[in-house]
Amino acid sequence: MDTREQIIQLADNLIRDKGYNAFSFYDISKTVGIKTASVHYHFPAKSDLGVSVIEQHIHNLHVLREKLNSKSPVEKLDKFFSIYASIKNENKVCLVGSLATDFNTLDKKIKNKLKIFSDNMLDWVSEFLQEGRDSNLFQFEGSPRTKAMMIISNMLAIVQLSRLTGDKDFKTVKDTIKQELIKK
């Protein structure tokens, strides 16, 4: 992994661990083993780094969608859950949740990119929910978009909330959502 990628990876972890306004170029530099000025060589401003972190997530989601394209809605749902399970496992939160709380302090470029990412995520989940209902695998009322919004917000929040209430609440909520969606 080259330096640039390493910086993005690290920034991503820091944002989801401590929040955007709690990490600095010094945190990056000491771990990568270069000076802060060298981090600025790759990313002139902190907001440029923020934008790149989100772009990485957009790209990863795109690749995942392609990969799962021909798989069943249940497999897609499981993969969706497993993303949040590993977030929880690392005691982090999801990118959208983290940046949403800092939203009013962010650069316009970051805000716009983040909107694109959350739209993509919402689009993907809506799509496989619809697909699952059409093939009688899932049951839910209302539009797929609304259901997607509810499932995403449940997962987004439970990784945050279970930092306080205990990690096993994550599993309980995840299992309940799946059960409600799949039971017949």
Contact assessment for residue 95 and residue 40, using Cβ atoms and an 8 Å cutoff: no
CB of 87 to DNA, least distance (A): 23
Select 39 or 54, whichever has its Cβ closest to its own copies.
54
Contact assessment for residue 89 and residue 17, using Cβ atoms and an 8 Å cutoff: no
Q: Quick check: 42 binds DNA (CB under 7 A)?
A: yes
Contact assessment for residue 36 and residue 29, using Cβ atoms and an 8 Å cutoff: yes
| CA angle, 180 then 163 then 28, to 5° | 120
Contact assessment for residue 147 and residue 140, using Cβ atoms and an 8 Å cutoff: yes
Q: Quick check: 58 binds its own copies (CB under 8 A)?
A: no
CB of 96 to DNA, least distance (A): 20
Contact assessment for residue 20 and residue 102, using Cβ atoms and an 8 Å cutoff: yes
Q: Quick check: 103 binds DNA (CB under 7 A)?
A: no
Q: Quick check: 110 binds its own copies (CB under 8 A)?
A: no
Burial of 69 (0-12, 13-18, 19+ CB in 10 A): exposed
Residue 2 interacting partner from DNA, its own copies, none (CB closer than 5 to 8 Å by kind): DNA
User: Of 9, 34, 102, 150, which lies in the binding site for DNA, with binding defined by CB under 7 A?
Assistant: 34
**Tokens standing for 47?**
């907001």
CB of 16 to DNA, least distance (A): 16
Q: Which parts of this chain interact with its own copies (CB under 8 A)?
A: 17-19, 21-22, 91, 93, 96-98, 100-105, 114-115, 118-119, 122, 141-142, 146, 149-150, 152-154, 156-158, 160-161, 163-165, 169, 172-173, 176-177, 180
